[in-house]
């Protein structure tokens, strides 16, 4: 149809459609150029490094490169019985080179991740290897320690041959690949990570629930009070919001300590005996109380901004049509606030699930979260690939929630104050 | 919100219960902050109210922890404060420039892939800080910027820009684009139009985004813990170390100063918000 109608031309003789498209493209490029500096800055300094974490979490080249000859020799080994002299000789050759470069400590750390007990026998081997004679390395190595004659340990070394591994992810879920190559869980009493994941979810969930229960009434009050009162009360929400996280955590540490004000108060009203003051800090209670107070503003603000838009005449209409105030609230007001509830809950949940500082200070051993474990591996054990794997597991959870948030609320609907 | 006279008694009771609950929640929110003030003037080394303080004995109060904060030889608060301000100021400038320019592009209706790009730009705000910390640390270590001011400033720009992008795009959503066209038709070039027309109109949004970026940088501890060396120590790092090792009243003196600072920022932010709401009201 369009080909038959006469094309409209601009004054330059170019068809209008082409000219418009050209202008459109120019505008697109202009808009993109404005965003480009920040976008590229973030891609280089932030998005790529997160990708780097992904690479680190599966990268296992270190051991592969430390024992190249051993793994080459092991290719012909079926893993049933002790490997033969060829493997032992290759291992000896690799090991001597590592000792020369002073890297055998790194090897022992790495192998210890796969199987406990490597640290001491590698130390012994280093000392003994100085006196080794040429030839018949199998006998000599096996005589250093009985574990070197155990086929299990050689299988453990063989498992480190591939350059990439998913074992860090399995470890994050307290699982490992056993001798037969099957994925199994570690013993019941050593499942520390599952406990942490569950606790993180539990604390994030309950903190969200507490925040919701506390924020709903005050957001309603703020939205229905006359401006001059609500502005004053709003300070109670905004001042904590703008105050340093560490300051607020410090104040909870003072309040919750055993000789602290909260305990004094409980003793004062006779709730607990003076010589039997409960521990309210360095455990889950501390994490719950402090995190709820710190995250509360993030629930109040989205709820408030939604409630502000609900006309009071709707409630009056509900009541005038015969509903009691409760029915009017439940059938009219509450459904209208659901977008705000969704926004607030998801925001608080996302923030709570990645919390680090407050649990580390008031959480003690039973109140720490998965983030604390990540920081521990980054700083203390220096097992960065494991920290990366755990971080990415946490991140994928958060991204699912972020995606839901975007679907339900829309990212550009986030309001700040 | 006085109740109408015809309210039935049991609703009246409900109403008072509701007000009591609200009062309790407001108390829960704000009261912990006020514990810090009196204790920072404690004459003794304990973090609880001494008997002298309870009876308002003037001898039980002193400024010794403030003196310790400023003159204490062992306390690196001076260096920390200097570093914190330098880092926060540069991070704010960086975030505001990058964020505002990006927000201008994002609010253009010609912007392609708006949703996706917005999601990337906002992501540092959503991704848990510990993960951002690990990722940024890997980058800075590779770039040789770990334990430098530059590295920390860049890290804080990453964390601060989402706030600027959000506040400025919100301000721009009520922006009347015909004024820039009017300026262009009167012969103004784009840069001139931006400086003379657009910027003054969106300034409240830019400044409040800048305040967010400033506070984010000034309070940030997770990423700095990974990046900072001894010379880059900041106030949050010192507080973190202090709170972990020994809670001394000097920390409370610092905390009091921080609360005063955040009150100032709150007042500025509120004034700006009202101004920008007024401006947007006029535009509509």
Q: What pLDDT shows up at residue A5?
A: 58
Please tell me the predicted confidence (pLDDT) of residue B280.
Answer: 61
The answer to whether position A145 is within a domain reads yes
Domain membership of residue A369 (yes or no) is yes
Out of B128, B236, B252, closest to residue A354 by CB: B128
CA A4 to chain centre: 61
pLDDT digits (tens, 9 = 90+) for A111-158: 887 788 888 888 888 888 888 888 788 888 888 888 888 888 888 888
Q: Do A301 and A237 meet the contact criterion of CB atoms below 8 Å apart?
A: yes
Question: Would you kindly state where each structural domain of chain B is located, as residue ranges?
Answer: 9-65, 80-283
Query: Based on the domain organization, do A90 and A220 belong to the same domain?
Result: no
Contacts of B18 in chain A (CB under 8 A): 217, 221
Alpha carbon distance B67, B41 (integer Å)? 11
Residues A383 and A244 in one domain: yes
Is A250's Cβ below 8 Å from some Cβ in B? yes
Å between A303 CA and nearest CA of chain B = 15
Q: Among A33, A56, A79, which residue terminates a domain?
A: A56
Residues A214 and A267 in one domain: yes
pLDDT of A288 reads: 92
Please answer yes or no on whether B102 and A406 come within 8 Å at the CB atom.
Answer: no
**Do A94 and A204 have their domain in common?**
no
**C-alpha–C-alpha distance, residues A18 and A366, integer Å:** 67
**Do A374 and A230 fall within a single domain?**
yes
Question: For the domain with range B80-283, which CATH number is right: 3.40.47.10, 3.40.190.10, 1.25.50.10, 1.10.3720.10?
Answer: 1.10.3720.10
Cβ contacts (< 8 Å) between B243 and chain A: which residues?
246, 249-250, 253, 361
Let me know whether A83 and A28 are in one domain.
no
Low-confidence stretches of chain A (pLDDT < 50) are: 1-2, 417
DSSP-based helix, strand, coil % in chain A, nearest 5: 70, 0, 25
By C-alpha distance, which of A67, A167, A48, A154 is closest to A113?
A167
Residues A345 and A206 in one domain: yes
- For residue A184, the cross-strand partners are A176
Cα–Cα distance for residue pair A396/A52, rounded to 1 Å: 15
Q: Domain check: are A67 and A49 in the same one?
A: no
Tens of pLDDT along chain B (284 residues) come to 567 777 778 888 888 999 999 999 999 999 998 888 888 888 777 777 777 777 777 777 878 778 877 777 666 888 889 999 999 999 999 999 999 999 999 988 888 888 889 889 988 988 999 999 999 999 999 999 988 999 999 999 999 999 999 889 888 887 888 888 899 899 888 889 888 888 888 888 898 899 999 999 999 999 999 998 888 889 999 899 888 887 778 888 889 999 999 899 888 888 887 777 776 654 43
User: Using a CB-CB distance cutoff of 8 angstroms, which residues of chain B are in contact with residue A402?
Assistant: 126
Report yes or no: B138 at the A interface, CB cutoff 8 Å: yes
Q: Which domain holds residue A303?
A: 192-413
Report CB contact under 8 Å: A37, B98: yes
A262/A148 same-domain check:
no
Number of structural domains chain A divides into: 3
- Judgement on whether residues A197 and A223 belong to the same structural domain of the protein: yes
Domain contains A181: no
CB pairs under 8 A between A and B: 268
Bridge partners (DSSP) of residue A183 are A177
Can you give the pLDDT at residue A1?
Answer: 46
- Identify the closest residue of chain B to A252 by CA–CA distance: B32
| Contact state of A247 with B111 under an 8 Å Cβ cutoff | no
Q: What digits encode the pLDDT tens for the residues B61-72?
A: 878 778 877 777
Question: Is residue A264, in this structure, part of any structural domain at all?
Answer: yes
Q: What phi and psi, each to the nearest 5 degrees, are found at residue A9?
A: -110, 150
DSSP states along B102-137? HHHHHTSTT-TTHHHHHHHHHHHHHS-HHHHHHHHH
Q: Do A248 and B32 touch (CB under 8 A)?
A: yes
Instruction: Report the C-alpha gap between A285 and A297 in whole angstroms.
Output: 20
Is residue A176 assigned to a domain? no
pTM: 0.84
Q: So what's the pLDDT on residue A415?
A: 52
- Determine which of A29, A38, A262, A370 to mutate to test the interface with B (most B C-beta atoms within 10 Å): A38
- What CATH number is given to the structural domain containing A198? 1.10.3720.10
Residue A177 inside a domain? The answer is: no
- The pLDDT tens digits of the residues spanning B214-249 come to 999 999 999 999 998 888 889 999 899 888 887 778
Cα distances (angstroms) measured from residue A221 to each of A94, A230, A298, A406, B13:
73, 8, 16, 28, 16
Same domain, A256 and A397: yes
* A356 touching chain B per CB within 8 A: yes
Distance from CA of A174 to the nearest CA of B (A): 21
Contact A112, A119 (CB under 8 A): yes
On whether residue A166 sits in a domain, the answer given is no
């Amino acid at each position: 149809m369009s080909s038959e109608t006469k094309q409209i031309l601009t004054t330059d003789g170019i068809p209008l459609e082409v000219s418009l498209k050209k202008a459109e493209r120019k505008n697109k490029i202009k808009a993109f150029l404005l965003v480009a500096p920040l976008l590229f800055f973030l891609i280089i300094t932030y998005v790529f490094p997160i990708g780097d974490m992904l690479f680190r979490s599966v990268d296992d080249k270190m051991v592969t490169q430390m024992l190249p000859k051993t793994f080459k020799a092991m290719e012909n080994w079926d893993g049933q019985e002790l490997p033969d002299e060829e493997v032992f000789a290759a291992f000896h050759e690799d090991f001597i080179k590592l000792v020369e470069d002073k890297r055998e400590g790194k090897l022992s750390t790495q192998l210890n991740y796969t199987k406990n007990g490597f640290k001491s026998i590698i130390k012994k081997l280093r000392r003994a290897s100085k006196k080794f004679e040429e030839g018949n390395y199998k006998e000599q190595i096996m005589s250093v320690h009985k574990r070197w004659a155990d086929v299990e340990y050689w299988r453990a070394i063989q498992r480190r041959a591939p350059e990439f591994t998913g074992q860090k992810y399995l470890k994050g879920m307290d699982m490992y690949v056993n001798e037969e190559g099957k994925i199994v869980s570690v013993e019941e009493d050593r499942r520390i990570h599952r406990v942490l994941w569950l606790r993180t979810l539990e604390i994030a969930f309950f903190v969200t629930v507490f925040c919701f229960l506390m924020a709903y009434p005050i957001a309603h009050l703020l939205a229905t009070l006359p401006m001059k009162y609500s502005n004053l009360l709003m300070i109670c929400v905004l001042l904590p919001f703008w105050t340093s996280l560490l300051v607020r955590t410090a104040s909870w540490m003072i309040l919750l300590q055993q000789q602290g004000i909260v305990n004094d108060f409980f003793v004062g009203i006779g709730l607990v005996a003076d010589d039997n003051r409960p521990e309210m800090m360095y455990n889950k209670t501390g994490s719950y109380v402090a995190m709820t107070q710190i995250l509360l503003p993030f629930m109040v603000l989205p709820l408030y901004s939604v409630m502000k838009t609900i006309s009071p005449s709707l409630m009056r209409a509900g009541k005038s049509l015969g509903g009691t105030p409760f029915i009017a609230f439940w059938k009219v007001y509450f459904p209208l606030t659901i977008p705000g509830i969704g926004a607030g809950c998801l925001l608080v949940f996302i923030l709570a699930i990645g919390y680090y500082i407050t649990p580390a200070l008031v959480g003690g051993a039973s109140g720490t979260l998965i983030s604390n474990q990540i920081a521990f591996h980054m700083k203390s054990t220096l097992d960065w690939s494991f920290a990366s794997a755990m971080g990415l597991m946490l991140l994928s959870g958060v991204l699912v929630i972020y995606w839901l948030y975007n679907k339900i609320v829309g990212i550009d609907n986030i309001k700040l104050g | 919100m006085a109740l109408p006279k015809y309210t039935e008694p049991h609703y009246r009771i409900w109403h008072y219960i509701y007000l009591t609950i609200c009062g309790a929640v407001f108390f829960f929110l704000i009261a912990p902050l006020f514990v810090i003030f009196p204790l920072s003037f404690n004459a003794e080394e304990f973090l609880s109210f001494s008997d002298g303080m309870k009876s308002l004995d003037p001898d039980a109060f002193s400024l010794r922890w403030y003196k310790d904060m400023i003159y204490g030889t062992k306390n690196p608060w001076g260096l920390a404060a200097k570093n914190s301000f330098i880092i926060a100021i540069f991070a704010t400038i960086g975030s505001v420039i990058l964020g505002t320019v990006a927000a201008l592009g994002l609010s253009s209706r010609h912007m392609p892939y708006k949703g996706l790009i917005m999601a990337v730009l906002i992501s540092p705000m959503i991704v848990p800080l510990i993960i951002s910390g690990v990722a940024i640390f890997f980058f800075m270590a590779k770039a040789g910027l770990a334990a430098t001011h530059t590295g920390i400033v860049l890290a804080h720009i990453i964390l601060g820009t989402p706030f600027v992008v959000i506040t400025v795009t919100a301000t721009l959503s009520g922006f009347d684009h015909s004024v820039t066209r009017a300026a262009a038709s009167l012969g103004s070039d784009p840069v001139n139009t931006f400086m003379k027309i657009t910027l003054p109109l969106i300034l409240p949004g830019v400044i409040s985004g800048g305040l967010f970026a400033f506070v984010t940088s000034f309070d940030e501890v997770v990423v700095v813990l990974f990046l900072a060396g001894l010379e880059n120590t900041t106030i949050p790092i010192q507080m973190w170390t202090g709170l972990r090792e020994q809670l001394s009243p000097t920390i409370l003196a610092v905390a009091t100063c921080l609360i005063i600072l955040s009150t100032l920022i709150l007042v500025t932010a509120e004034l700006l918000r009202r101004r920008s709401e007024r401006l947007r009201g006029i535009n509509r």
